A and B are shown apart, each in its own frame.
Chain A
């Protein structure tokens, strides 16, 4: 790798805690839950065992005009909202045919998604079954394709240096950011709009996750259902949302006097080669991802003061990650698990949680893990519970792991 410094100069998100970064961050610090009962007739119709989810706090149509919204799958809508916010936060003006603040040939996009547009796929299949081909939308394919979110962002913000859409399930958002970093480091782009998006709360996904026995069934108490690292955890809560960051060459950001939230100093991407949904029992892939990120950043494990854990609130996954953190880094880092509040945003998770990690570095405060009342003794880490903790940080890791055995660790350092 070259030694081009990459910094974060813009943040955008829409999540179950709020329609932007500020409200999401406030929600994390205040200990609010984004998990609610799902209001849908299909819960009864299919007698689904899971009746809770972490839906968006703000409907995308609040921010996207009707005609544009009807051409976009919900996953594409949230990606576009987060990207536009990050773009404006970086101090860039809306591009026009006459002027762009970033030269299009030097601007890239890397926005991952776990599934893309399954809701569109199912709706259009219903129309086909009921009415035949005439009622199938000509927008079906561009709405369901997993590169749709990234492609729409690239069109909207005029990016011509290449558009990527990593698909690595729940690690997609983190891999989106890592891929953006590589685009800048390899000289392909000066600025990359990077992150992840997901919006797939639907009967088939709920049913599928429920059949895999990975989701919480604490239906009578939604706000307490997602409880990473707690002894009473019983699975994750499916959420939706998007997070996008603006990655920029450090010298370019300095030259224009941009606000720098943090530096992206390294990443680790590994694969378990073990099982399609289960983690490797010794956590070799997770450990290697964290160690590789530390090595790439030129740091040692002692420098890493904070880990924003992937911890989804599953019985097996949380203790597996805890063991991997202890082995890769040690017992000293201050750990938090934002999924207690956010639920699991799948392809959006790694990006939104990356943003939380960046803000912890920037503000010197780590949000508590919501619903962590009794720390599982097998976790054996310093996990923040109850109140946020003020702590001066120089380096922090955000972990994301996905079905398929994907492991991604992003390492951010203070600007």
Chain B
């Protein structure tokens, strides 16, 4: 599957589409809620789009653990087929 840099840039595209955050600002250490100001509704949209884009399943209890962009990138890297 894609390397982490590719996952990051793919995720950044989704975050920009859903929440209007510039792709350059979507970096590994950023918190979705505290740094990127993304609310719980937008997180659901981002998760669904990420599932489609990367071919992963992100159950709700896993989604709750994805605090930072880096957490999401790692999860996708470890769980995509």
Binding site for B on A (CB under 8 A): 65-68, 71, 134-135, 137-139, 142
Contact = CB atoms under 8 A, between A and B. Distances in A.
Contact of B48 (A65, A68, A71, A134): A134
A138 B45 contact: yes
A139 B41 contact: yes
A265 B20 CA distance: 45
10 contacts: A66-B20, A67-B19, A134-B48, A134-B51, A135-B48, A137-B45, A138-B40, A138-B41, A138-B42, A142-B41
Interface in B1-26: 18-20
Interface of B: 18-20, 40-42, 44-45, 48, 51
Contacts of B41: 71, 138-139, 142
Contacts of A138: 40-42, 44-45
Nearest to A66: B20
Contacts of A135: 48
Contacts of B42: 138
Nearest to A133: B48
Interface of B is mostly: helix
Contacts of A67: 18-20
Contacts of B45: 137-139
B41 to A, nearest CB: 4
Contacts of B44: 138
Nearest to B16: A67
B80 to A, nearest CB: 17
Given A71-B41, A135-B48, A138-B45, 10 more contacts: A65-B20, A66-B20, A67-B18, A67-B19, A68-B20, A134-B51, A137-B45, A138-B40, A138-B44, A142-B41
A209 to B, nearest CB: 33
Q: Which 4 A-B pairs have the closest CB atoms?
A: A67-B20, A138-B44, A138-B41, A134-B48
Nearest to B52: A134
Nearest to A135: B48
